[in-house]
Amino acid sequence: MATVLHDERKSPRGGPDRRAGFARSGMAKARRREAVVAYAFLSPTLAFFAIFLILPLVFAFVLAFSNWGGFDLTQIEFVGLDNFAEILNPASSFVAPILVNTLLFAFGSVVLTFVASIVLANAINRLRFQGLWRTLYFLPIVTTVTAVGNIWKYLYEPSGGLINGLLNALGMPSVRFLADPDTALPSVVVVQAWASLGVAILILTAGLKNIPETYYEAAALDGAGVLRTFWNITLPLLRPALLFVLITQVIAGLQSFALIIVMTGGGPGNATNVAGFEMYQQAFNYGLWGIASAMALVLFLIIFAITLLQLWLFRQRGEETS
């Protein structure tokens, strides 16, 4: 990804204007050496994925087209596209509301986290005792999800919870946050956003620290105010970190369900049921591994498509991301 001052195309290596010409054969050899080194650097990673990713994925792929109860490998039974037909059937609950909930859950929490983390990471960066603030924002990451879920359940409680206490004090009636199918999902989205803030802030902080002081000094000399500095210096230089946060949080959001188990169990009805949870239930509780794997594949395709879209969108703005 190109930084503001530095244009990759002008670098001595591999720029199109340098390609043609007398250095061609040397170029090719250097290229090959670079490729060999690159794959050498990648070899532990690729070896690991070959064993611990590819094999399980083949297994999952086979299962998606089979029936399997989960206890005995010899009982895998081929059924072709039946599983997909069943889950993509409009009558089943997978597409709606489960997938819909999944998308809402992920995007809702990511938008909240994204905005809040940018603001907060910057705010912390300008204060003293940064280590302390960062540690406090880190706490939700180390707090067990049971504790987080329980506390928020108390906060949301209709008779005696803090939030309803405030609403009542302001003259409004209590809202049955987690029990009302219309408010249950948004309520959980808020908690998910809250829980994801710490990681986002950490990464954006690292990104902010990456920006040399000299830029800010130059901007200050030019008389730029806080917002202009932020818009013209900070944001562009933060792009790779921002893209990272966005992509990883969306991926995580689309798969996450630990909070939902603790807070609502997927209910009421299917109001807070998301794909990750449903898949787990289908596999372990119902013993329907074929359906679970088919759901996993569908979800994977959705996640992959969304991620490619994000990469492409960021590329559109003239940034090379791949």
Partner 1 sequence: MRPRRTPWFSYLLVVAGAIAMTIPFLDMVMTSFKGPGEAGELPYKFLPDRFHFGNYLAAMEQLNMGLLFRNSIIMTAVAVTSVLVTSSMAGYALAKLRFPGRPVVFRFVLATMMFPPFLFLIPDFLILTNWPLVGGNDFLGRGGEGGLTTSVAALFIPFVVSGFGIFLMRQFIVTIPDEMIEAARIDGAGEFTIWRHIILPQTTPVLITLGLLTFVGTWNEYVWSLLISTVNPDLMTLPVGIQLLQSYLDPNQTLPLVMAGLVISIAPVLTIFLLMQKYYIRGVMISGLK
Partner 2 sequence: MRWGTAGRAAALAMAAALALAGCSTGGSETDSGKVTLTVLTHYGNDPLKSGLQKMVDEWNKNHPSIQVKTQAVTYEDLLQTVTVRQTGGKAPDIIQAYSLWGGQLERAQVLAEPPEDIQQDIKTNFSTAAVGAVTVDDKILGYPTEVQTYALYYNKKLLAEAGVTEPPKTWDELATVAAKVTKRDAKGNIKVAGFGLTSGWDSAVVHPFLCLLQAAGGQFLSDDGTQAAFNSPAGKAALEFEKSLIDAKSADPAINVLRAFPSEKVAMTINAGWWIGSLKTAMKDKYENVGVAPVPGPDVGDRGSLAYGFFMGVNNKSQHKDEAWQFLEWMNAEQGPDGATRMGSFQYSVGTIPGRPADSEALADDNTDPNYQPFIDALEYAMPEPNGRNGQKIKTTLQKSIEDVWTGTRSVDDALADAAEQTNAMLSSG
Q: Which of residues 7-46 bind partner 1 (CB under 8 A)?
A: 8, 11-14, 31, 34-35, 37-39, 41-42, 44-46
Residues 200 and 257: their CA atoms lie apart, in Å, by 19
CB 270 within 8 A of CB 281: no
With binding defined as CB under 8 A, does residue 194 bind partner 1? yes
Which one of partner 1, partner 2, none interacts with residue 14, CB within 5 to 8 A by kind?
partner 1
| C-alpha R_g of the chain | 25
Q: Say whether 243 sits in a helix, a strand or coil.
A: helix
With binding defined as CB under 8 A, does residue 187 bind partner 1? no
**Strand blocks (E) in the chain:** 66-67, 77-78
Among 81, 115, 151, 166, binds partner 2 (CB under 8 A): 81
Count CB atoms within 10 A of the CB of residue 129. 10
Q: CB-wise, 93 or 125, nearer to partner 1?
A: 125
Q: Binders of partner 1 among 107-126, rule CB under 8 A?
A: 116, 119-120, 122-124, 126
Residues 144 and 112: their CA atoms lie apart, in Å, by 21
CB 295 within 8 A of CB 278: yes
Q: Sign of torsion, CA 106 108 114 120?
A: negative
Q: Any idea what DSSP says for residue 77? A: E
Among 76, 155, 202, 252, binds partner 2 (CB under 8 A): 76
Query: For residue 276, what are the contacts with CB-CB under 8 A and spacing of at least 6?
Result: 102, 254, 255, 256, 257, 299
* Rounded (10°) angle between helices 181-209 and 130-142: 140
With binding defined as CB under 8 A, does residue 316 bind partner 1? no
Residues 1 and 187: their CA atoms lie apart, in Å, by 37
Q: CB-wise, 184 or 262, nearer to partner 1?
A: 262
- Least Cβ distance, residue 77 to partner 2 (angstroms): 8
With binding defined as CB under 8 A, does residue 281 bind partner 2? yes
Which one of partner 1, partner 2, none interacts with residue 220, CB within 5 to 8 A by kind?
partner 1
Q: What are the C-alpha distances in Å from 79 to residues 141, 226, 228, 238?
A: 42, 62, 60, 49
Q: Any idea what DSSP says for residue 61? A: H
**Six-digit token string for 18:** 């340098």
Among 89, 92, 144, 168, binds partner 1 (CB under 8 A): 144
With binding defined as CB under 8 A, does residue 270 bind partner 2? yes
Which one of partner 2, partner 1, none interacts with residue 22, CB within 5 to 8 A by kind?
none
Q: Binders of partner 1 among 241-300, rule CB under 8 A?
A: 241, 243-244, 247-248, 251-252, 255, 276, 279-280, 283-284, 292-293, 296, 299-300
Which one of partner 2, partner 1, none interacts with residue 181, CB within 5 to 8 A by kind?
partner 2
Site string for partner 1, 66-105 (x = CB under 8 A): ----------------------------------------
Write out the residues near partner 2 by the rule CB under 8 A: 58-59, 62, 65-67, 69-76, 78, 80-81, 153, 157-160, 164, 168, 173-174, 176, 178-181, 264-265, 267-270, 281, 284-288
